[in-house]
């Protein structure tokens, strides 16, 4: 579970949109041959219909969720070890129940472990003891090395997002809530489509803000003016970069 501190909490909304990976123990209610289990599980990859269980934090309405992969790692008696890559919002205990229904024997989730959340995997995990020790070394001994290992830069939380890199002269305007205009874009990553959530960064790779793309890559390259990204969440503090813009008193816009 990614945990953010300080201004980095503003990127959590972007992490909610990304896929997850789980390792799960599914308990079958009857004996089933291993090859049949694998065959049925394979049928649950791709888009599936799912109604959240009774005990859930969302309304119990039928919705579509995508299963990217569903690997049967091991079958031991009635215990089935699964690795599941899925869209955010997928209920694994409901998935186990539905697989049991398809097998005709019934099943339930016995154990669950999240192994990936977007760009973060088990390699990034630290315990609360590690965090406390790192904090003590920093505060009492002035050693920053341990705390820098357990607290990652906010930019790590937007690795999965398409990126727009902007001129230094545009940074402070965006920090004041301005949208990103085409002249402020220096470079951007391929594959950006209208409506994509994107990250706006400085040329040094510092995260400035999150936004929604209003243009494709081709349109940004072709057009000389217009709004490329609508700013939705400012991350960088105002004044971090010099103010090189003027505000129009009447309209409140930034140029």
Q: How many domains does the chain have?
A: 3
- Read off the CATH number of the domain in which 203 is found: 2.30.130.10
Whether residues 110 and 52 fall in one domain: yes
Backbone φ/ψ region at 175: left (φ over 0), alpha (ψ -120 to 50), beta: alpha
Tally Cβ neighbours within 10 Å of residue 183: 15
Query: 234 in helix, strand or coil?
Result: strand
Q: Is 242 inside a domain boundary?
A: no
For the cut 80, the answer to whether the pLDDT of residue 247 exceeds it is no
Mean pLDDT of the region 36-63: 91
Q: Is residue 239 part of a domain?
A: no
29 and 113 together in one domain: yes
Are 42 and 104 part of one and the same domain?
Answer: yes
Residue 252 lies in a domain: no
Please, are residues 79 and 27 in contact by the beta-carbon 8 Å criterion? Answer: yes
Q: Are 12 and 158 in contact (CB under 8 A)?
A: no
- What pLDDT score does 248 carry? 56
Q: Indicate the pLDDT class of residue 253, thresholds 50, 70 and 90.
A: very low
pTM of the model: 0.81
For 81, the domain range is 19-117
pLDDT at 124: 84
Mean pLDDT computed over 22-42: 97
pLDDT tens digits, 136-193: 999 999 999 999 989 999 999 999 899 999 999 999 999 999 999 999 999 999 989 9
* 91-100, 111-120, 198-207, 246-255, range with the lowest pLDDT: 246-255
- Within a domain: 193: yes
Report the pLDDT value the prediction gives residue 39, as an integer from 0 to 100. 97
The reply to whether 165 and 223 lie within a common domain is yes
pLDDT tens-digit readout, 58-106: 788 999 999 999 999 999 999 999 999 999 999 999 999 999 999 999 9
């Amino acid at each position: 579970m990614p945990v953010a501190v300080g201004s980095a909490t503003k990127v959590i909304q972007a992490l909610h949109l990304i896929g997850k990976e789980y390792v799960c123990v599914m308990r079958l209610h009857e004996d089933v041959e291993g090859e049949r289990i694998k065959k049925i599980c394979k049928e649950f990859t791709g888009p599936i219909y799912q109604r959240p269980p009774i005990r859930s934090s969302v309304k119990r309405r039928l919705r579509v969720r995508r299963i990217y992969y569903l690997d049967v790692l091991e079958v031991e008696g009635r215990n089935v070890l699964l690795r599941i890559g899925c869209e955010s919002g997928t209920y694994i205990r409901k998935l186990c129940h539905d697989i049991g229904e398809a097998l005709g024997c019934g099943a339930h989730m016995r154990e669950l472990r999240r192994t990936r959340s977007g760009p973060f995997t088990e390699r990034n995990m630290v315990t609360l003891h590690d965090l406390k020790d790192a904090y003590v070394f920093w505060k009492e001994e002035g050693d920053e090395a341990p705390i820098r290992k357990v607290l990652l830069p906010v930019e790590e939380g937007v690795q999965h997002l398409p990126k727009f890199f902007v001129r230094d002269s545009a940074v402070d305007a965006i920090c004041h809530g301005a949208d990103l205009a085409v002249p402020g874009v220096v470079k951007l990553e391929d594959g950006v489509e209208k409506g994509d959530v994107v990250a706006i960064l400085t040329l040094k790779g510092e995260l400035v803000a999150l936004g929604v793309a209003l243009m494709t890559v081709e349109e940004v390259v072709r057009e000389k003016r217009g709004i490329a990204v609508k700013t939705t969440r400012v991350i960088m503090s105002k004044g971090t970069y010099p103010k090189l813009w003027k505000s129009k008193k009447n309209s409140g816009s930034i140029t």
